A and B are shown apart, each in its own frame.
Chain A
Amino acid sequence: MKQKLIITLCLTCLPLLAQADLVWSVEQADGEHAHHHGRPQQQLLLNESDAQVWRYTPDLVRQAMPLQQRQASLRPSGQENYHLYLAEREEGNLHEAALYYRYFGGRPTGVSPQSLVNLNKTALEIIPNPLPREHRHWLSGNTVQFIIRFQGQPLGGIKVDLHSSNGSYMHVVSDEAGRVSFVLPDDFSDVSAGRRNNDEAWLQLWVEHEQGEQQYRTSLTLPYSVNPTLYWQSQTIGWLLLGSGFVFGLGLVHFKNKDNK
């Protein structure tokens, strides 16, 4: 039976946010629709339908993307690695942007994801510093860093609001170099052992900036996962095992030497 489990993220209706602010959210499907490899099927949704959407491929090509019922296609572009989904909208003096970096697998593209990150894509940007490398993920309890950039320059002293799909909220302020660092919330409940047995959560970062009459608002949506070392992986026992192997090895050498004498 094809049963689709939809986890609708409540981020788009968080009361703390202005309703009109642009933001990406991701719906996850599970059950028979889940892939044997990689993450389950997902849908990328924008909270508004009157925005222009682009996808940046790893080779920095900007492609216009249609929005169908607020949904942007997550179908592969033919390249793997990081893609960026950007939604933009102008309304009077307000310029809004929503960013979402999507990882499509590790096949080499020949272009560094750093080039995609460095590219000026919209006026006010929240830039992951860095994007997780292959074999790595954003994990709860880990410190992460982002750079706030306005028209290509770092923007210091700006407040960044953070909201997680698990209900955490906090805010941080960027330093002179536009950097913000914070610990990803460990706000998962009912954690099961194994990364594949736990759904990703989503964090949204929001910034706002005024330049004269013009106002800019930007959001960044990113996934984060349960940190295994906080739940089902033990570093202490790992060190103990290493010690056991070491002692066993010393014993082995000692007895072999005795035999040879």
Chain B
Amino acid sequence: MVLKNLSVIRKLIQLLAFVFLVYGAPVVGFYAADKISGALPALACAYDTQTADYCVLIPFQHQMDHRVGPAIAQGGDILKALLQVGMTLATFLLMFVVLNKAFCGWICPLGFFQELMQMLGQKLGLRRRESLPQATVDKVRPIKWAMLALLVFIFPLLTGLGWAGHELGSPYCSICPSRILTTLATGDGSQLVVDSASGGYLLLSLLADFLFGLMLALGLTVRQPFCRICPMLALHAVFRKLGLLRLVKNGTPRCDKCGLCAKACPMDIREIHTDMASRDVTFADCTLCGRCVEFCPDKDVLQLRYAGLPVFRADPQYFKGRKKVQTQWEKANLLNKGSAPKPVTNHE
């Protein structure tokens, strides 16, 4: 019965993925050559010595810094350097096509951790923000693109060209909360440091530690705070049309008066509700978690489709059951019932 609840199934998969990606080296092997891909579309960190695979953002930064930049600066073989970037991208895409943006919503260790923080916040009776104001969401959305462009490609390239210091060779890794989370999870505190080697390292390490603390606090009350600015989300967004898994909408006039899908969305994508023209509603910020489908009360209006075939569809019966389970969970688990968000309710 419980396994008919998509959120429970997703949590179980997230838990398994977390254990495997954070502690999986004894299964796959210790070295980079042993890893599954070296270009995983989720934030599994190479600094975690027990990880089973690496995030794709690491090779991208290294290739910009150690291959492409020097090739340009020293008149080397630029094509060869770009070929390596292409190989990494191709490896990423081979995996990405299978699950599309669900790597964020179902696999990413940091995404799962933020969901746990949110559950903890509810347990502690902290007042949860159901949705961020639209103005805030609109302001935050471009940050992920800047993170991807600047921290993953441009600054490392400038370092490779010799125009920036070594500090900016892998700047995203330097501030990534997953680096701190996954190493701490394996009992390694060496990545939670303040580094006074230079002004640049100092600034990046201060930012990393502060950002991690900030994410912990915001995660108690705001849904997926770091995911909203994550460069991996932006990278996924670029290639989302290639993925086999999609969020599909068959809008009806009833949608105008509802909006439960947008309320259920942990990324506050209101366009799922307001966009009546698009059939593919796998928006740039979507993590394909499926909550919008779960909380859509109208039959087949929202669907998760894999290679065109429906794998999970909105259903009034499921919606009623899901709502009941949600209410029961909140009654049973929340210390301060008044802090709970207003339950998602059906429209008339």
Q: Is B truly associated with A?
A: yes
The answer, yes or no, to whether B16 is at the interface (CB within 8 Å) is no
Q: State in angstroms the CA–CA spacing of A91 and B32 once bound together.
A: 40
Could you tell me if A135 and B47 are in contact, using CB atoms closer than 8 angstroms?
yes
Contact A193 B32 (CB under 8 A): no
B 191-213 binary contact with A (CB < 8 Å = 1; else 0): 01111111001000110011111
Structural contact, A237 and B217, CB atoms closer than 8 A: no
Q: Are A195 and B197 in contact (CB under 8 A)?
A: yes
Are A114 and B31 closer than 8 Å at their CB atoms? yes
Query: Are A109 and B33 in touch, CB under 8 angstroms?
Result: yes
What residues of A have a CB within 8 angstroms of the CB of B162 in the complex? Answer: 36
Closest Cβ of chain A: how far from B183's Cβ, in Å? 11
- Distance in angstroms from B202 CB to nearest chain A CB is 10
Known contacts A108-B33, A133-B49: does B210 contact A244 (CB below 8 Å)?
A: yes
Stretch at the interface among A40-48, A69-77, A181-189, A248-256: A248-256
Indicate if B221 sits at the interface (CB-CB under 8 A): yes
A248 / chain B contacts, CB cutoff of 8 Å: 210, 213-214, 217
Q: Which residue from B70, B193, B206, B221 sits with its C-beta under 8 Å from A229?
A: B193
Is B320 among interface residues, defined by CB-CB distance under 8 A? no
Closest A residue to B169 by CB, please name it: A37
CB nearest to A241 among chain B residues:
B209
Give chain A nearest CB distance to B22 CB in angstroms: 15
Quick check: is A153 within 8 A (CB to CB) of the other chain?
no
- Complex Cα gap A247–B66 (Å): 38
Contact partner, B222, options A36, A113, A253, Cβ 8 Å: A253
Chain A positions 99 through 139: 1 when the CB is less than 8 Å from some CB of chain B, otherwise 0:
00000011111111110000000000000001101111000
* A112–B32 alpha-carbon span in the complex (Å): 8
In the complex, the answer to whether B195 meets A232 with C-beta atoms within 8 Å is: yes
Known contacts A193-B197, A243-B213, A246-B214; is A113 also within 8 Å of B31 by CB?
yes
> Among the interface residues A112, A237, A249, which one has the most CB atoms of the partner chain B within 10 A?
A249
The contact of B34 among A37, A112, A194, A229, by CB within 8 Å, is A112
Chain B hits for A242, CB < 8 A:
180, 192, 209-210, 212-213, 216
Given A194-B197, A228-B197, A241-B194; A81-B33 close (CB under 8 Å): yes
Complex contact A111–B33 (CB within 8 A): yes
Q: A232 with B197: in contact, given A242-B209, A242-B212, A246-B216 (CB under 8 Å)?
A: yes
Cα distance, A243 to B180, chains bound together (Å)? 14
Cβ–Cβ < 8 Å partners of A244 in chain B: 210, 213
The reply on B316 being an interface residue by CB < 8 A is no
Q: How far is the CA of A110 from the CA of B91 in the complex (A)?
A: 14
Q: Counting CB contacts under 8 A, is B231 at the interface?
A: no
CB neighbours of B241 from chain A (8 A)? none
Bound-state Cα–Cα, A61 to B66, Å: 27
A238/B209 in contact, CB under 8 A = yes
Contacts of B32 in A (CB 8 A): 81, 106, 108, 133-134
Which of A106, A114, A256 lies in contact with B30, CB distance below 8 A? A114
Interface centre among B65, B127, B214 (most CB of A within 10 A): B214
Q: A136-B49, A196-B166 are in contact. Are A235 and B220 (CB under 8 A)?
A: no
- Complex contacts, A58 vs chain B, CB 8 Å: 33
User: Residue among A113, A238, A256 with the most chain B CB within 10 A?
Assistant: A238
Contact of B213 among A130, A193, A245, A257 (CB under 8 A): A245
- 26 contacting pairs across A/B (C-beta < 8 A): A108-B32, A108-B33, A109-B33, A110-B33, A113-B33, A130-B31, A131-B31, A134-B32, A136-B49, A193-B198, A228-B195, A229-B193, A235-B193, A238-B189, A242-B209, A242-B212, A243-B213, A244-B210, A245-B213, A245-B217, A246-B214, A246-B217, A248-B210, A248-B217, A249-B215, A256-B129
Query: With contacts A110-B33, A112-B34, A245-B209 known, what are 20 further pairs, Cβ within 8 A?
Result: A108-B33, A108-B38, A114-B29, A131-B31, A193-B197, A228-B197, A233-B196, A233-B197, A233-B205, A238-B189, A238-B192, A242-B212, A244-B213, A245-B214, A246-B216, A248-B210, A248-B213, A249-B214, A252-B217, A252-B218
